[in-house]
């Protein structure tokens, strides 16, 4: 008998920084009113042009088949269905300028409705499908008629506000944000709101009579940034009317199906520190009857996505949808390392999980009959796939995977083994974390290890995909990342634990993570490193000034001096709510909590990674740190990335993202592995 031929298994490779170019990342989606199709966006990185491009794809829910809906090297986004399901409006940068486009849902040629020099948000259709409504803030160049002068820097900038720049955008426009209505037939644009204050987050009532929006009318909206007001204005324009709500932030207002009430995301603590008070679903009558109230006061979680990853940008303001019958509201919320879909009765009560699991729901959509939800699903090994599920409790049991965007991660890559870990801190508090083991892991081998610390601080590591963790593990390191106190996902008390006192409980929890790590038989306790970015960079800076336990550190986009951070960061002035005053009214606390105060004690070799256009944690923080450590004779080096903002690791220019990963690896190789 002839011998059977046994097919060879395909040899898998270790993941590399260059695999970023192979990733296809789902960034947004909307289900059609008849729930038969899903328009979703796929972002890719181009290796030749070193840019990001996004196109819209169309999914047939019944068959599970997808096809590319828009084509070309541009950014297409914010797809929104007309109410009759025949057309799709979207925003695109084709023609090298931002514009609003219209295409038949069946496909065909697009029609440009409007070209914009500005920032556009909350694109939506009017109920009669004759208009598009959105928020718009014009760039300064919009008001310059000479095309040559548009590209030239101004002679001067006159600054009068705290908010005069924003990380990733640069200097903010002088124009205020206003609500606009675009007539689709004539392409005529009409401004609905006016004034010097920003008017944002519009939503059209289902009866087509009103537009609700949010505006901060306090004496100083920058210093009192959590004192939003809710307004309604006739769709055709006219006099605005304030709807009575408690002082606090307001996000994403949505009219009920009967147009009589408005639901929104917010809370009633205008003096909140950075993201401590839980954002909940509130509801108020259009005529203040019923009065505004929290629909879920006992829900001890944030009603938005606070989970972080490195293949997509950080969460926005949150999502909120009404059921078609007006009896329930759907939203996303983060809880103990997961982000799931929830619902709450419109009359108030305890929220129920619609889709639950150890995963990260990175965005979802409901529409029309609201019987089906579509969402972007991510977990520890999956950057994000499109799924659908019924809008009933326990929907995870009936959820259907609709895409396979990154099959190479399953077929070509030797993926690291990962598992969730719970351990005790110094006082017996349970801390959540994840350990990532190198490919081909051998329990008898002792590996060097790296402790990762998340940013925020009000954010959470989660059951979501992290390319960086996979790559560093593939380089032969055990990776451990945890959720110490002060972050999100475990309620207000957890988040509030470090308010006014960074470097205390958070530091002890991180050291407890180091204790757990070094006790593992497969970890070489003499070869442990630490790294983190933003607040994680702050904590890295803090740790090297308080312990010599780590043999190497990489601090990224970090904070070294809280006093100068207040004046140099785009939002540094808000730190006064976190630290109970300003550096000149509470100097002792700012000095006590600043890592730079303790740099004389540093013995750990440290690599400083920072972006030159980081307006969140200004590069002056890195420069202060570098000069002081260098003058003190410490082992320190700095790597600067030109042009990049704060989010280099998530959405920086691809070659710079790769260089960042390689610098982290090289630094740890030098001091943890002797290479």
pLDDT higher than threshold 80 for residue 297:
yes
Contact 341, 361 (CB under 8 A): yes
Half-sphere exposure for 482 (CA within 13 Å, toward CB): 28
Token pair belonging to 63: 């068959």
Per-residue pLDDT, 633: 97
Distance CA 141, CA 276 (A): 38
pLDDT, average across residues 303-307: 95
Task: Dump the DSSP string for 565-621.
Answer: HHHHSTTGGGHHHHTTS-TTTSHHHHHHT-GGGGGGG--S-EEEEEETT-SSS-HHH
pLDDT higher than threshold 60 for residue 2:
no
pLDDT, average across residues 264-284: 96
* Domains in the chain: ranges and CATH: 299-348+360-413 (no CATH), 414-672 (3.40.50.1820)
Q: Measuring CA to CA, which residue among 533, 584, 588, 598 is closest to residue 559?
A: 533
pLDDT, average across residues 298-303: 96
Contact 622, 632 (CB under 8 A): no
Per-residue pLDDT, 415: 87
Please tell me whether the peptide bond between 290 and the residue prior to it is cis, using omega within 30 degrees of 0: yes
pLDDT tens-place string over residues 462-503: 999 999 999 999 999 999 999 999 999 999 999 999 999 999
Q: How far is CA 99 from CA 143, 145, 218, 348, 589, in A?
A: 17, 18, 33, 40, 48
Confidence tier at 315 by pLDDT (50, 70, 90) = low
pLDDT higher than threshold 70 for residue 593:
yes
pLDDT, average across residues 230-238: 96
Burial of 390 (0-12, 13-18, 19+ CB in 10 A): middle
pLDDT tens-place string over residues 64-111: 999 999 999 999 999 999 999 999 999 999 988 899 999 999 988 899
Q: What is the mean pLDDT of the chain?
A: 95
| Percentage of residues in the chain having pLDDT higher than 90 | 93
pLDDT tens-place string over residues 28-74: 999 999 999 999 999 999 999 999 999 999 999 999 999 999 999 99
Per-residue pLDDT, 498: 97
Token pair belonging to 303: 């009603």
Contact 69, 90 (CB under 8 A): no
Distance CA 646, CA 587 (A): 27
Per-residue pLDDT, 3: 42
Per-residue pLDDT, 4: 42
What pairs with residue 535 in β-bridges?
A: none
Which of 346-350, 414-418, 613-617 has the weakest average pLDDT?
Answer: 414-418
Element (H, E) at 29: strand 25-31
The more confidently predicted of residues 8 and 327 is 327
Token pair belonging to 114: 């409007």
pLDDT, average across residues 566-593: 96
Q: What is the dihedral of CA 643, 646, 649, 655, to 10 degrees?
A: 0
| Percentage of residues in the chain having pLDDT higher than 70 | 98
pLDDT, average across residues 550-564: 98
pLDDT higher than threshold 50 for residue 1:
no
Q: Measuring CA to CA, which residue among 480, 462, 475, 554 is closest to residue 523?
A: 480
Tokens 């300003």 -> residue: 582
pLDDT tens-place string over residues 619-672: 999 999 999 999 999 999 999 999 999 999 999 999 999 999 999 999 999 999
pLDDT higher than threshold 80 for residue 317:
no
Distance CA 321, CA 125 (A): 15
Backbone angles phi, psi at 635, to 5 degrees: -80, 105
Distance CA 586, CA 141 (A): 41
Which of 89-98, 314-323, 400-409, 547-556 has the weakest average pLDDT?
Answer: 314-323
What pairs with residue 104 in β-bridges?
A: 87
pLDDT, average across residues 168-184: 95
As a whole number of Å, the CA-based R_g of the chain is 25
**What count of other Cβ atoms lies within 10 Å of the Cβ of residue 110?**
18
pLDDT, average across residues 228-246: 96
Per-residue pLDDT, 182: 98
Q: Measuring CA to CA, which residue among 228, 215, 323, 326 is closest to residue 279?
A: 228
pLDDT tens-place string over residues 178-233: 999 999 999 999 999 999 999 999 999 999 999 999 999 999 999 999 999 999 99
């Amino acid at each position: 008998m002839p011998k059977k031929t046994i097919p060879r298994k395909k040899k898998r490779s270790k993941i590399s920084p260059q695999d970023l170019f192979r990733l296809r990342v789902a960034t947004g989606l909307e289900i059609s009113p008849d729930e038969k199709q899903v328009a979703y966006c796929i972002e890719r990185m181009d290796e030749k042009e070193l840019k990001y491009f996004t196109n819209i794809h169309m999914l047939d829910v019944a068959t599970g088949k997808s096809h590319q809906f828009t084509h070309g090297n541009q950014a297409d986004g914010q797809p929104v269905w007309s109410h009759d399901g025949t057309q799709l409006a979207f925003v695109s940068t084709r023609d090298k300028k931002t514009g609003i486009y219209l295409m038949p849902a069946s496909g065909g040629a697009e029609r440009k409705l409007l070209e914009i020099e500005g920032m556009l948000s909350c694109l939506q259709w009017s109920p009669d499908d004759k208009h598009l409504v959105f928020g718009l803030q014009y760039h300064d160049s919009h008001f310059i008629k000479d095309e040559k002068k548009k590209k030239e820097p101004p002679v001067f900038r006159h600054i009068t506000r705290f908010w005069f720049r924003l990380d990733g955008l640069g200097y903010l426009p002088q124009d205020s944000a206003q609500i606009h209505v675009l007539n689709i037939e004539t392409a005529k644009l009409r401004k609905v709101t006016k004034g010097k204050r920003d008017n944002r987050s519009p939503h059209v009532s289902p009866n087509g009579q009103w537009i609700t929006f949010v505006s901060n009318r306090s004496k100083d909206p920058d210093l009192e940034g959590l004192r939003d007001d809710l307004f309604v204005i006739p769709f055709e324009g006219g006099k605005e009317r304030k709807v009575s709500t408690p002082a606090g932030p307001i996000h994403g207002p949505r009219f009920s199906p009967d147009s009589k009430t408005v639901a929104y995301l917010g809370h009633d603590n205008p003096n909140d520190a950075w993201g401590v008070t839980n954002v909940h679903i509130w509801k108020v009558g259009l005529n203040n009857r019923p009065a505004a109230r929290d629909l879920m006061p006992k829900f001890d979680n944030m009603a938005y996505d606070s989970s972080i990853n490195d293949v997509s940008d950080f969460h926005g303001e949150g999502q909120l949808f009404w059921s078609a019958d007006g009896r329930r509201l759907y939203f996303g919320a983060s809880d103990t390392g997961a982000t799931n879909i929830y619902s709450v009765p419109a009359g108030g009560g305890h929220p129920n999980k619609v889709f639950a699991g150890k995963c990260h729901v990175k965005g979802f959509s409901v529409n029309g009959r609201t019987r089906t939800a579509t969402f972007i699903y991510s977990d520890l090994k999956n950057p994000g796939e499109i799924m659908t599920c019924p809008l009933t409790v326990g929907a995870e049991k009936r959820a259907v995977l609709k895409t396979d965007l990154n099959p190479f991660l399953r077929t070509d890559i030797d993926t690291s083994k990962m598992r969730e870990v719970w351990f005790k801190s110094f006082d017996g508090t349970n801390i959540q974390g994840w350990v990532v083991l190198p490919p081909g892991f051998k329990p008898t081998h002792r590996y060097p290890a790296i402790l990762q610390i998340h940013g925020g601080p009000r954010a959470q590591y989660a059951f979501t995909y992290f390319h960086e963790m996979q790559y560093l593990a593939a380089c032969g390191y055990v990776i451990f990342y945890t959720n110490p106190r002060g972050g999100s996902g475990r309620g207000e008390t957890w988040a509030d634990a470090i308010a006014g006192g960074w470097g205390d409980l958070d530091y002890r929890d991180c050291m407890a993570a180091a204790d757990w790590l070094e006790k593992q038989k497969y970890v070489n306790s003499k070869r442990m490193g630490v790294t983190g970015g933003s607040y994680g960079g702050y904590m890295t800076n803090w740790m090297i000034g308080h312990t010599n336990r780590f043999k190497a550190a990489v601090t990224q986009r970090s904070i070294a001096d809280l006093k100068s951070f207040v004046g140099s960061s785009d939002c540094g002035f808000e730190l006064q709510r976190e630290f109970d005053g300003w550096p000149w009214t509470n100097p002792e606390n700012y000095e006590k909590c600043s890592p730079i105060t303790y740099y004389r004690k540093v013995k750990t070799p440290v690599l400083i990674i920072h972006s030159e256009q980081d307006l969140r944690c200004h590069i002056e923080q890195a420069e202060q740190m570098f000069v002081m450590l260098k003058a003190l004779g410490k082992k320190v080096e700095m790597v600067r990335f030109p042009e990049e903002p704060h989010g280099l690791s998530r959405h920086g220019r691809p070659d710079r993202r790769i260089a960042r990963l390689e610098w982290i690896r090289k630094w740890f190789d030098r001091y943890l592995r002797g290479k």
